[in-house]
Structure 1
Amino acid sequence: MQKFRYGNAARPGVYFDEENRRRLNIIKQAHAELAASLISAGRKDEARKVLEHYDAGVSESNFPYGMTCNIGNIDNQTSARFLQDCYESGDYGLAAKVAASVKKDLQQQMVYYQSLSDGPPMTDEELAVNAQEALQGKGSSLDERQLNFATDILSAYRLLMMLEQMKQKYQPRPGGAN
């Protein structure tokens, strides 16, 4: 917490290529794992500090929490884990920031996957069901261009559902009861 630096990741306008984004994602994952360990040990205040330290050290304009990558949705999966730790540590402000970024990226992905079809529009759920059926070798209503993204469609949809479940589970209730 005292010595680690993030290689100018907090400085606006610094570009990180794919390899360096992968490394920043590993750093984010390490922070999430440390926070999870602290949370399980009952040290939520320290977990919040770890998560906030990462957030202060890495500018979202340089490396957003919600980000599509060429390896499925690994960046968004790591951010979802980070988000869960934000919720579990009680850092609802940071949780809202992370959730909004990841949700925006996933929704944009779903819009893109929808745009690949010349057929009638489907809901996100219908698109995901068809992607699942295609991956299982069953008949599917996906267009040929959408079939190429079946795995990504399914992972994006599942992550959107996970975000909604986390929001419902951890959202602060009126009167402070959670």
Structure 2
Amino acid sequence: MDNETAYKTIMEKFAYGGANKPGVYYDEENRRHLNSIKYAHAQLAESLAASGRKDSARKILEHFDENVLESNFPYGMTSNQNNLHDYFSFRFLNACYEAEDWNLAKKVAASLKKDLSQQMRYYKSLGDNISDEQLAINAQMIMQNKGGNLSDKQIEFAQDILSTYQLTMQIAEWEKQYGAKLGAPAGSGGIK
């Protein structure tokens, strides 16, 4: 990636479709475009951080956050495209960690965790009361045609169940890894 050109383009030329104005609604197509913009910010921030330019990486991430109100376009949001929205935010969160933007990481993680938790509660409500881990294991078994014990209603969400669980587990790992830097006591598991 040409960090200099990309940085200048994002900071000077990117438009955010009025996402910095309260109350703007984005339909699925426009959310897809904003996700592409969010992903471009994450990719550049990761590249800048890897080259030792963490200050510039933080500026890119914060530029997105300032131009896209979370009330208009939350970091954590269910999508009709197999958790794609949360995946882009997950990559953005990873960029926050790599850039050492701890405050923005807390904000993004909290939004993602809220959405992922709500999704798991919904998927669990469609069948027997089992743990998140057992639900994910059964979903993976279904997807691999190796059996699995899910209700008929849960089967249609098998891929979403698995991706929701995997994203949740990775966020928990990052919280353990970066907990002290995020202001959480050692061993607390991270953000509350």
> If the length of structure 2 is used for normalisation, what is the TM-score?
0.87
Is residue 143 of structure 2 the alignment partner of residue 135 of structure 1? yes
**How does 1:13-92 map onto structure 2 within 5 Å?**
13-92=23-102
**How does 1:125-164 map onto structure 2 within 5 Å?**
125-164=133-172
Write the distance in 2 (CA, Å) between the matches of 1:172 and 1:83.
Answer: 17
**Shift in Å, 1:172:** 2.7
**Counterpart of 1:158 in structure 2: which amino acid?**
Q
- Quote the residue 1:170 is aligned against: 178
After TM superposition, the structure 1 stretch with the greater mean CA deviation from structure 2, 57-66 or 136-145, is 136-145
**Shift in Å, 1:3:** 3.9
1:6·1:57 contact (CA, 8 Å) conserved in 2? yes
* Length, aligned pairs only: 173
**How does 1:107-118 map onto structure 2 within 5 Å?**
107-117=117-127
**Shift in Å, 1:124:** 0.4
1:88·1:170 contact (CA, 8 Å) conserved in 2? no
Write the distance in 2 (CA, Å) between the matches of 1:168 and 1:84.
Answer: 14
**Partner residue of 1:122 out of 112, 118, 130:** 130
Write the distance in 1 (CA, Å) between the matches of 2:178 and 2:93.
Answer: 11
Gaps of 5+ in 2: 1-10, 184-192
For residues 2-54 of structure 1, what are the alpha-carbon distances to aligned partners after superposition, in whole Å with 9 as ceiling and x for unaligned?
A: 34331210111000011000000000000001101101110000000000000
> If the length of structure 1 is used for normalisation, what is the TM-score?
0.93
Identity of aligned residues (%): 57
For residues 84-110 of structure 1, what are the alpha-carbon distances to aligned partners after superposition, in whole Å with 9 as ceiling and x for unaligned?
A: 111111111000000000111011000
**Counterpart of 1:114 in structure 2: which amino acid?**
K
**Counterpart of 1:163 in structure 2: which amino acid?**
I
Secondary structure of the structure 2 residue equivalent to 1:2:
helix
**Counterpart of 2:135 in structure 1: which amino acid?**
L
**Counterpart of 2:167 in structure 1: which amino acid?**
L
1:9·1:62 contact (CA, 8 Å) conserved in 2? yes
- Quote the residue 2:18 is aligned against: 8
**Counterpart of 2:132 in structure 1: which amino acid?**
D
After TM superposition, the structure 1 stretch with the greater mean CA deviation from structure 2, 131-140 or 89-98, is 131-140
